[in-house]
Amino acid sequence: MSVRVSASLVPAGALPSSTAAVVIDVLRATTTLSVALANGAARVLPATSPEAAAERRRRRPRALLCGERGGLKLPGFDLGNSPFEYDAAAVRGRDLIFASTNGSLALIAARSARRRVLAAFVNASAVLETLAGDDDVTFVCAGALGRPCLEDLGCAGWLAAGLARRGARLDAAARALAALAPRDAAAVRTLVQGASHARDLRALGPAYAADVEFCARLDTLSAAFEV
């Protein structure tokens, strides 16, 4: 297995069709969407903007309109970007049209890949298991407005280290991140809680602080999901 890391967004469609894209947006999109799919959501339909999401909703009136800007749920949307919003009662059997500031763009950037796997700390070990049969893996870190984010790079490093232990060949970026990756659940929590985006979210109020705490947990979900 060959493993490479894209620390910031690649142009949409730029990934080779042979690769498995592992899309990472720890705070909060890939955490939230993994929870949604674990709770029975039918599928995720990423949109480039709130306007594009609203247009897509007009063609799919039963779909849920989901997303945020600046961390806040968009006016008129059904759900925002908190994992606590996406319980089974809200999402089971429903398509999710999802437009977040960074995560939905990362999903769209990876659309040319052979498959797209959602990854976050909450399902990190499950992601390792689902990648076991892949020969080529690319980590796509969502970052923030084009800039790398500590929590996404840390998750990529944790996963890269796990794949290296299974014999994967890491590129230079993946090796560097693996060397710096958190080693256990306590280190994961420290890394995520200390990230600049975590501070920004906590400043929005207690509910957002709870989101950060949830996203900082290791392996609370036992499955990985494709979109």
pLDDT at 7 over 90: no
Q: How confident is the model at residue 6 (pLDDT cuts 50, 70, 90)?
A: confident
Q: Which domain holds residue 146?
A: 2-226
Model confidence pLDDT, tens digit, residues 60-115:
999 999 999 999 999 999 999 999 999 999 999 999 999 999 999 999 999 999 99
* Inter-residue contact 203 to 196 (CB < 8 Å): no
- β-pair partners for 141: 24
The pair of structure tokens assigned to 70 is 């600046």
For 168-221, the pLDDT digits (tens) are: 999 999 999 999 999 999 999 999 999 999 999 999 999 999 999 999 999 999
User: How much of the chain, in percent, has pLDDT values that exceed 70?
Assistant: 98
d(CA 153, CA 173): 10
pTM (two decimals): 0.95
pLDDT of residue 147: 87
Domain with 115 in it: what CATH number? 3.90.1560.10
Closest CA relative to residue 115, chosen from 91, 98, 140: 140
pLDDT at residue 145 greater than cutoff 90: no
Both tokens of residue 87? 């319980």
Q: What is the DSSP string of 103-119?
A: HHHHHHHTTTSSEEEEE
The per-residue pLDDT of the chain, averaged, comes to 95
The structure tokens 């996963």 sit at 159
Helical packing angle, 172-180 and 150-165, nearest 10°:
100
Residue 136 CA to residue 216 CA, distance in Å, equals: 27
10 Å CB burial of residue 11 (0-12, 13-18, 19+) is exposed
Domain tally for the chain?
1
Q: Is the peptide bond before 28 cis (omega within 30 degrees of 0)?
A: yes
